[in-house]
Amino acid sequence: MNDIRSRLERIRREIEKLQAQESLLLEMLDETPTPKQTRAVKGSVKTTVLDLLEEVGRSGLNAATAVDLAKDKGIDLERGSVSSLLSRLKTDDVVTYDGSAYRLKKFTEMPGITPLRTSGDRSY
């Protein structure tokens, strides 16, 4: 296991050296590298989506909107993962869903928000 860790560390140092060389060459060419889209780290997808839900507040969001908003922040989310997460958050009673948008419960319980009934709501 230590052999693997030391090999990984050597590779990381080599990558850092290559990135420094790339940066120097781009500087010499008077070019700047394009920022890379960073993929959300596993586990941070939930944090990112919860942050976005907090940010959008009462207007809510769906999976596609969350992916777009995250992309604007340089974070690459997979739509399927976000959709699945939003569904789990609804099941866990963290968010509500009105048929078009998910909202944090605290924004649903505010005056002026009336949840829409969906076909899954048989109480009407």
Q: Residue 75 belongs to a domain with what CATH number?
A: 1.10.10.10
Residues 49 and 103 in one domain: yes
Digit-coded pLDDT (tens) for 18-68:
888 887 787 888 766 555 555 555 558 899 999 999 999 999 999 999 999
Residues 101 and 58 in one domain: yes
Q: 62 with 101: CB under 8 angstroms?
A: yes
* 38-39 and 75-76 beta bridge pairing: parallel
pLDDT attached to residue 88: 92
**Amino acid letter for position 54:** E
Range of the domain at 74: 38-108
> What is the three-class DSSP state of 74?
coil
Inside any domain, residue 48: yes
pTM of the model: 0.57
Q: What are phi and psi of 89, to 5 degrees?
A: -65, -35
